Amino acid sequence: MNKIFYKLFFIYALIISSLFIIFGLIFLYLFHVDLYEDFEETYTHQQQQITDLLTASEEFGWAEEETMTALKPMLVEKDFHVYLFGENGDRLFKGVSFEREEIDRGLLEKAKSGEYVAKGGWTNGDLSYVIASPINGEVIMVMVFHDLSHAYQQVLYMILLTFTITIAIAGIIIWFLSAKITAPLRDMNEIALNYAKGDFSQSVQIASKDEIGQLGETFNHMAAELNSLEETRKAFIANVSHDLRTPLTSIKGFLIALLDDTIPADQRKEFYLLMKDETERVIKLVNDTLDMSQLEAGQVTLKPTSYNLTKQLQLIAVKLEPHLAGKELEIQIIPDNQEIMVVADRDRIEQALINLLQNAIQVSANHQDIQVFLEKKADEVDIRVMDHGEGISEENLERIWERFYKTDKARSGKTGIGIGLSIVKSIMDLHGTTIKVDSKVGEGTVFSFALPLMKQESDYEREG
In a domain, 99, yes or no: yes
Beta bridge partners of 386: 371, 446
User: Do 185 and 158 touch, CB atoms closer than 8 A?
Assistant: no
Claim to verify: residue 292 and residue 311 sit in the same structural domain = no
pLDDT at 434 over 60: yes
pLDDT at 415 over 70: no
In a domain, 186, yes or no: no
Claim to verify: residue 270 and residue 314 sit in the same structural domain = no
- Which of 372, 291, 282 has its CA nearest to residue 324? 372
pLDDT at 373 over 90: yes
User: Do 372 and 385 touch, CB atoms closer than 8 A?
Assistant: yes
Claim to verify: residue 330 and residue 347 sit in the same structural domain = yes
Q: pTM of the full predicted structure? A: 0.49
Higher pLDDT, 173 or 456: 173
User: Do 449 and 435 touch, CB atoms closer than 8 A?
Assistant: yes
Claim to verify: residue 36 and residue 72 sit in the same structural domain = yes
pLDDT at 208 over 70: no
So what's the pLDDT on residue 307? 92
pLDDT at 303 over 70: yes
Rounded mean pLDDT of the chain?
80
In a domain, 179, yes or no: no
Q: Which of 134, 154, 174 is the last residue of a domain?
A: 154
Q: How confident is the model at residue 412 (pLDDT cuts 50, 70, 90)?
A: very low
Q: How confident is the model at residue 392 (pLDDT cuts 50, 70, 90)?
A: confident
The 10s digit of each residue's pLDDT in 325-367 is 878 888 899 888 888 999 999 888 988 898 888 888 888 888 8
The 10s digit of each residue's pLDDT in 73-91 is 888 877 788 888 887 777 8
Which residue range(s) make up the domain with 414? 305-463
Claim to verify: residue 219 and residue 347 sit in the same structural domain = no
Claim to verify: residue 364 and residue 446 sit in the same structural domain = yes
Cis peptide before 335, with omega less than 30 degrees from 0?
yes
User: Do 404 and 427 touch, CB atoms closer than 8 A?
Assistant: no
Claim to verify: residue 380 and residue 444 sit in the same structural domain = yes
pLDDT at 128 over 70: yes
Provide Rg for the chain, Cα atoms: 51
Rounded to whole angstroms, the Cα distance separating 394 from 435 reads: 17
Give the CB-side neighbour count of residue 270, counting CA atoms within 13 A.
6
By CB atoms closer than 10 A (0-12, 13-18, 19+), residue 140 is buried
Top mean-pLDDT range of 10-14, 249-253, 351-355 = 351-355
Structural domain tally of the chain?
3
Beta-carbon neighbour count of residue 318 at 10 Å?
10
Claim to verify: residue 291 and residue 312 sit in the same structural domain = no
The 10s digit of each residue's pLDDT in 310-326 is 999 999 888 888 878 87
Q: Which of 109, 132, 154 is the last residue of a domain?
A: 154
Rounded to whole angstroms, the Cα distance separating 199 from 434 reads: 37
Claim to verify: residue 411 and residue 440 sit in the same structural domain = yes
Rounded to whole angstroms, the Cα distance separating 333 from 370 reads: 9
Cβ partners under 8 Å of residue 198, min gap 6: 230
The 10s digit of each residue's pLDDT in 147-171 is 787 788 888 888 888 888 888 888 8
